[in-house]
Amino acid sequence: MNIRPTWIAALFICASVRPAHALLCGTGLDPVTVSASAVRFGNYLPTSPAALTASGTITISCGLGLDLLPDFAVALSQGVGGGYQPRRMLNGSSGLAYNLYTTPAYSTVWGDGLDGTIEQLFSAILHLGSVVFTVYGRVPAGQFVATGAYSDTITVTVTY
């Protein structure tokens, strides 16, 4: 069997560009996984002069944990109230205004990039494992609504 030296060199180059341990997750057998904890505001008192605040988390990770995360964007849906300015938690036909933010300053609404909102972006320069984002929630004071349990459902979308 006669193998040319150029063929052997080509095999060596192809083998050398493959990472030794880490691969890019989101491809092949290593999916990107998303988990989130609820933003629980607790009891809202309409007579309180202060806004009600709470936080939750969104965790983006590689299924195997040893692979590199890709660059991605994290978007949050409008919820059942159908808008970002503000979002609304519902109790039957009653709505309680609130919003979700990217920082504890409550200045930038976390959404899908439309209607004055932004997505959270992540540039994964050799980042292994997982990334945790904090979601900051705020219910403005002075809303006189019917007593009851108010809730909303937000969809987290990760695009990579």
Least confident of 4-8, 59-63, 86-90: 4-8
Supply the pLDDT for residue 134: 98
Residue 3 in domain: no
Task: Give the pLDDT band (50/70/90) at residue 31.
Answer: confident
Cα Rg of the chain, angstroms: 23
Residue 89 in domain: yes
Task: Assess whether pLDDT exceeds 80 at residue 54.
Answer: yes
Instruction: Count the domains in the chain.
Output: 1
Summarize the confidence of residues 100-111 as an average pLDDT: 98
Residue 2 in domain: no
What is the span of the domain harbouring residue 80?
A: 21-159
Residue 49 in domain: yes
Mean pLDDT for the chain? 84
Pick the more confident residue, 136 or 25: 136
- pTM assigned to the model: 0.83
Residue 16 in domain: no
Residue 11 in domain: no
Least confident of 8-22, 41-55, 89-103: 8-22
Supply the pLDDT for residue 22: 55
Pick the more confident residue, 126 or 102: 102
Task: Write out the chain in H/E/C secondary structure.
Answer: CCCCHHHHHHHHHHHHCCCCCCCECCECCECEEEEECCCCCCCCCCCCCCCEEEEEEEEEEECCCCCECCCEEEEECCCCCCCCCCEEEEECCEEEEEEEECCCCCCCEECCCCCCCECEEECCCCCECEEEEEEEEEECCCCCCCCCCCECCCCEEEEC
| Cα–Cα dist 15/19, whole Å | 9
Residue range 115-151, pLDDT digits in tens: 999 999 998 776 777 899 999 999 999 999 999 999 9
Residue 6 in domain: no
Residue 70 in domain: yes
CATH number of the domain bearing residue 121: 2.60.40.1090
| Cα–Cα dist 145/128, whole Å | 46
| Cα–Cα dist 102/110, whole Å | 6
